[in-house]
């Protein structure tokens, strides 16, 4: 019984360390022009909702003052490219990728370059 308990404990520890290793964090440069990003439905919330809709997303932090989006995700379920596509699909740039004219035009005026 001691051996079974010890083996189960070791398997539990091994599984926990494997799960911890799965997450990766990336920082994506963007351009946010409004000064009320996280209170505006068109900015921070739109970005967060689009990224969270993907598989394997753990956290999304929009850092408007720094023009950064920090995403922690499971690389076995999604890619950094997929995350960038989700951001550009709602009208924001993601590193060197630009949104389509249609996606950008759907943003509120406060979210666009003046």
- What CATH number is associated with residue 102? 3.30.70.100
Strand 68-73 vs strand 57-63: parallel, antiparallel, or unpaired? antiparallel
Q: What pLDDT digit, counting tens, does each position of 71-100 carry? A: 999 999 999 999 999 999 999 999 999 999
Q: Is the pLDDT of residue 18 over 70?
A: no
Residue 44 lies in a domain: yes
Q: How large is the average pLDDT for residues 94-109? A: 92
Residue 11 lies in a domain: no
Q: What pLDDT digit, counting tens, does each position of 30-73 carry? A: 988 776 666 666 566 889 999 999 999 999 999 988 999 999 99
Residue 17 lies in a domain: no
Provide the CA 12 distance to its chain's centre, in angstroms. Answer: 29
Q: Which domain holds residue 72?
A: 23-111
**Per-residue confidence at 111, pLDDT binned at 50, 70, 90?**
confident
**Per-residue confidence at 113, pLDDT binned at 50, 70, 90?**
confident
Residue 74 lies in a domain: yes
Residue 101 lies in a domain: yes
The C-alpha atoms of residue 112 and residue 31 are separated, in whole angstroms, by 9
Residue 6 lies in a domain: no
Total domains in the chain come to 1
* DSSP H helix total and E strand total for the chain: 4, 3
Residue 90 lies in a domain: yes
Sign of CA dihedral 96, 97, 102, 105: negative
Residue 16 lies in a domain: no
């Amino acid at each position: 019984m001691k051996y079974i308990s010890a083996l189960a404990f070791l398997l539990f520890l091994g599984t926990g360390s494997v799960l911890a290793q799965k997450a990766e964090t990336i920082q994506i440069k963007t351009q946010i022009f409004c000064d009320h990003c996280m209170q505006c439905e068109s900015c921070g919330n739109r970005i967060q909702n689009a990224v969270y809709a993907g598989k394997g997303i753990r956290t999304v932090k929009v850092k408007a003052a720094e023009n950064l989006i920090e995403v922690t995700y499971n690389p076995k379920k999604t890619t950094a490219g997929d995350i960038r596509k989700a951001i550009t699909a709602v009208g924001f740039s993601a590193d060197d990728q630009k949104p389509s004219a249609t996606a950008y035009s759907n943003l509120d005026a406060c979210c666009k370059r003046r």
